[in-house]
Amino acid sequence: MYPAKLSPGDEVRIVAPATSFSHITAATRQNATAQLAALGLRVTYAEHAEERDSFNSSSVASRVADLHAAFADPNVKAILTAIGGFSSNQLLRALDYDLIRANPKILCGYSDITALASAIYAKTGLVTYSGPHFSTFGMLRGLEYTLEYFRKCLFEPGSFAVLPSPAWSDDPWYRDQENRIFVPNPGCRVINPGRAEGRLLGGNLCTLNLLQGTEYMPALAGSLLLLEDDYESKPQHFDRDLQSLIHQPGFEGVCGLVIGRFQNESEISPEKLAAIIHSKPELAHLPVVAGADFGHTTPSITFPIGGTGSLTALNGAVSFTITEH
């Protein structure tokens, strides 16, 4: 079940299912609101988004109420998460999935939101989206590629090829908007060659793994997995998190793997990542590519959790297309 695409004039509700909206500075809010207005979107804010407890979040009841209100409001056409964090999976048992299924609309965010977006897809069949937070739109430089693929995925119909960004950055842009460091992007690299077509699942790997063994974990069979992790995931962490996913029922039906770009602090070099992949016999027959434009570096694509895509990785060249979104 795909939600309706966005159009100019649509209302977008900002919710904070993980870290409180109060964590976002006034300048970032102003910039993000202006950027979304430039896309023709009207921004409104969830009633409890500003609440902040000792864990930099808010109560489960408040966060669930805001999500339910956003899905139930016929004027709201998309729900954009404020920022990531650590606690979205606290909400899963309290959500009204019948309400969500009856009011399909776009839900977009990444990082910790992987748990929420994946669970909603698993429980309702509603396609959700791994893409920018509201806070992401507060970026003043280097946002063009992110905006392009946000539009392609959430405004426009039809399949689209995912081309590499010209350059990327791993700097804390929210601390200094003017002094940014951008690095030329060599594009995706092939670790295992091959072709794949399947249902797109994934997002932040360690967050997705929080759903293992629960009713909120999407079925893996037939999927083309898009996986990334942040600076806290060192090689040994990514290795064991990936192995844990491989052990899940249905993984034998996975058709391919696209790995997002790692942050520098993760210390996961191309050589170390290739060694991790090649150490796992379960992946030997799958096409695997790395360095894709999604994850905790910028810029980043938006992709549909539950949509479809195709991957070709042959002769050192990579072609990745999102076919249904």
* Amino acid sitting at position 159: S
- Look at residues 183, 186, 149, 180 and name the one whose alpha carbon lies nearest to residue 168: 183
Strands (E), the chain: 11-15, 42-45, 76-81, 106-109, 128-130, 160-161, 167-168, 183-184, 189-192, 194-204, 223-228, 256-260, 288-292, 303-305, 308-314, 317-324
Is the link from the previous residue into 299 a cis peptide, with omega within 30 of 0?
yes
- Residues 32 and 284: their CA atoms lie apart, in Å, by 43
What distance lies between CA 78 and its chain's CA centroid?
15
DSSP, collapsed to helix, strand or coil, labels residue 229 as: coil
- Residues 131 and 324: their CA atoms lie apart, in Å, by 16
- Residues 251 and 297: their CA atoms lie apart, in Å, by 27
DSSP 17-30: SSS-GGGS-HHHHH
- Residues 291 and 294: their CA atoms lie apart, in Å, by 8
Q: Is the dihedral of CA 267, 205, 239, 86 positive or negative?
A: positive
- Residues 145 and 299: their CA atoms lie apart, in Å, by 6
Catalytic residues, which ones? 111, 228, 296
Q: What is the CA radius of gyration of the chain?
A: 18
First to last CA, the chain: 10
Kindly give the interhelix angle for 270-278 and 235-246, rounded to the nearest 10 degrees: 30
